[in-house]
Structure 1
Amino acid sequence: MAPPEAIRTQVERITASDVFRRADRQCRFLRYVVDHSLAGTTDRLKGFTIGLDVFDRDSSFDPNLDSIVRVEAGRLRTKLRDYYQDPGRQDPILIDLPRGSYAPSISRREEQAAPLEGRIARRAVRGSIAVLPFRNLSDAAEQEYFCDGLTDTVITALARNRHLKVISLTSVMRYKKGQLSIPDIGAELNVAHILEGTVLHDGNQVRVSAQLIEAETDHHIWAEAFERDIAGVMRVQRDIADLISAQLIRELLPEGTPESQPPVKPDAYEVYLLGRGYRRRLTRDGIEKAARCFKQAISLDMNFAAAYGAAASCYCVLGSFGFELEPPENLIPVGLEYSRRAMELDPGQVEPMVYTAIMTLKYEWNWKEAERLFKAALALSPNDSVTHLQYSLYFESLGRFADAIDQAEQGRQIAPLSTEANMYLAWQLHQDGRDDEARSRLLWTLDLNPDFWAAHWGLGHVYLAESRVQEAVASFRKAVASGGGYVMPLQGLGYAHAAAGDRDAALGVIAQLEELGRTQYVSPCIPATIHAGLGDADRCFACLELAFQLRSRSMAWLNVTREYADLRSDPRFVELIRRIGIPGGASP
């Protein structure tokens, strides 16, 4: 059986779904029987006891004369079946109420898996592929970064082909330990084909072997080996990508092979791959180390376009990409220089184009140019999940939530097991007022990673919207304890305290932020939000004015930030929106 906390999370996911939305009796019934199952007291699950405890019958209740328990049990079974046929079809835990018993059946999905043939036939998508992490056959463990980098570059090359559905790197990295079979991976990722390969690195020589496999049958379609000098590794990944693309869309007109780029110096390429490994950690230390690697790669090869683009991404993350770890004015102009140089060297690169769009929106507040860049990036690589997810934020800033949800969902489909992609979709659902769906998505995300701070943070906002203030406080506290979000969870926690009427606790968070600000950068938007919750408009606007001067990334979303709803009629708010240049002016 799954851990008790995971089972309780599953119950909350079920009861929060549209299927159970107006089924208060069935929700209460489900919680009751699951609680007894977890407590080991299923012997109490009798018609009489359930009638008293769940349906408020008195001691004269006779289940032989009053059929309420039997009727509601039947309704509960039907609703559970309906739930798992649609919204819960991929949920990790299955809960059922077997006929003839009131004790629930609880199991992990893999324990109740449908026959393999049925699962694949139902879910596989034509023209879809997942590139599994290349395996390192060298003795040196440090070559893992080389294998991960090669996986990344092959995925990027394939994603440029608009005829293919390519699963993102984030979603495939969980299969690095190789614990599942190819058919099972194909079923989980909803793909028809799998690419797996190995890398043997010896001095300046590298041998890459790749195999294209039909996921349903585990049948090998083709296999190829490439042996090159390290300087030719980027050519190797293009060779592999072109062969796979030709195999999958042979009935369609190929897009053509990308033009050859000048060979990259071997030492520069090795440092570049090391940097990509650091960047995937998504921690401040990892991003800073990655930036140093990319700058070193550039110093070794001044024409290395990919290194410029990767360096730009680091400056974007540190200065504007959600966390705003440093003053944007210190970092974003440098990031823009790197990204524009990357595009000069290789106009076909997607990464610098996407990050230029992000920085143009979040720092330069130029919506028209940002939109042009997002569209150009998607035209070049329709399967890039980062582009779709960031484009969703563009639409969100304009209050176009339906478009934001559409882009976030496209990004999630490319990276179905990415906690970040699922978080983006949940956030846009929340912004559109679809909090039941947002909550279900966030709970599912926490099943993937119970320590993911952003999912706890998102749940806090959902609970605030539902006036479940104490639950919001608890969720924000979990986000703070999980780490990774830096000061963003404190912003939510302080506002939740204010919403709960606990002024002292809210002021305590502001004091904590002031103390942190003595040794590190804290965006003025963080305390501004808490002051708004406390009803202190003057202090709020003082912080927002400073945020405007610093060009804080959060200012682009000022018009759709729920915490400022009571300030939108204030002339200072209207004027601030005008100065930022948000299209359409201040929202009513």
Structure 2
Amino acid sequence: MNFDIQNDPVVRIEAGRLRRALERYYLVVGGRDPILIEIPKGGYAPRFCRRVDHPGQAKLQLTSNQPEPVPLRPLLGSSRGEELLAFTANWLRCRWFAGVSIALMIGLGLLFVGISDLPIVSTIQKERIAVAGPSIIVRPFINLSGDPEGDVYAAGLSEEILAQLVHFKELTVFGRETSGAVPAGVSAPEIRRKFGNRFTLEGSVRMFDGRLRITSRVLDGATATVIWSDAYDADLRTSSIVDIEMSVASKVATAVAQPYGILFKQMASSRETRLPGSEAYQCSFRFYRYRTTLDAREHLPTRECLERMTTLYPDYATGWAMLAYLYLDEDRFDRNRRPGSPGPVERARKAAQTAVRLEPQNVRALQALMTVLFVLKDPAAALRVGDQALAINPNDTELLGEFGSRIAQAGEWKRGAALLEEAMARNPGHADYYVGILAFAAYMQNDDKRAVELIRGADLRRFPIYHLVAALIFARAGLHDEAENSRVRFLNLRPTFFDDFEGELDKRNFNTRDRVILFRAAALAGFPVKPHIADVKE
């Protein structure tokens, strides 16, 4: 038997899956495990180490403003886990191959248990409220090459796309048991009639001359039409199949499942969103429509819709996360403030904590908690939560944009701008809001030319605060007429803003250095800055 353990693609693929399964386990279930098992990149020999040797693996420290996470179902009892790890370590001292075999068995066990906890709809339904909205089945990709090796690539790609999609909590993803039960040649409407999913994702792989071509498309089961398709090419001689799978799956998942992506746009134009029982999805759609405009007229009906939805579906974490944003905007943007106690920020905090308590790995819930903590003037805790959310789903453009803006405001302008640019590149249809923040980031990094270019492309009508940013940018660039025009417009919209300029900057968590820059910039632009503020020194 000629089996090359170092070069056979099956080994590389399975090792990559095991490596990701271990990473997922320690992020979710094994967050407090004292012993870590690693499969280093470039090799297959497992490595055992204590958690104290890996400070980067430390569990997220919760502040007093954060809820305690709900304990997840443990993988093993503590004593059994310790015995298994000790047993494995002893065998590893004997033979490398035995260590690899045991690590593979442990990894497959972790993968099985981890997958059972993922929010995927399988043929056996979990006891959980099913909320109306986009739903999708990922059919196994087809190998068109005739080469048996292509079967491995097709299976791995299908699995990776499935794993990437489940991180988008607004989307219901059917599990591999369901997709495996779909006969070949069955149409999207037939699949829908049998399983109830709205969309079907399918694709193929083709190998030729050391290259791999992957095509993918999404069909609407309601209309039998192709609503999206794309093709990806990769060189098998220069890239590992695991890297190719992860890269392609990331692109597919981002295009298909992001909150402003093709599935949600298709659902928005569908008559199904107006049928009885679909109010939950109507609220989600209203929320994302409001987020693109921040229109005061959209705020109240969206808030009321989400309040009805969380009453009807109290276990729907994403609904609570959305509601937290609507409460925050009562305070941040003076949108339909509800009188009485508790106030909007306190209601937002409770809603975000409820969302995280229901689903500790829900990216939208963590994003809401991050934003609330930032508003509560705890930027360090907010950014830790943002880092956790980004680790769970780096493909979520809604999170990328929000997290990038918070990082920038906290003083890391370069890193924040990089995340914002990535969000814009992945989701150009939602770029209006990001452009103004990018312009501000360029200004704070002393790139006046880029700042001017960007602010001229920002939607100043929908986001009035950008008139202030524009005035600062134009004034320092010597564009005095444009600076004056922006200054007058902003003061007409926010006449009392500079009555407590220090308080306004304090609410936004600007550090000392950036405050000094903004005090002087506002004075240069002709805003009514109090003399003792304008003359402050670093």
Shorter-chain TM band = 0.3 to 0.5
Please, what TM-score do these two structures have when normalized by structure 2? 0.45
Please, what TM-score do these two structures have when normalized by structure 1? 0.42
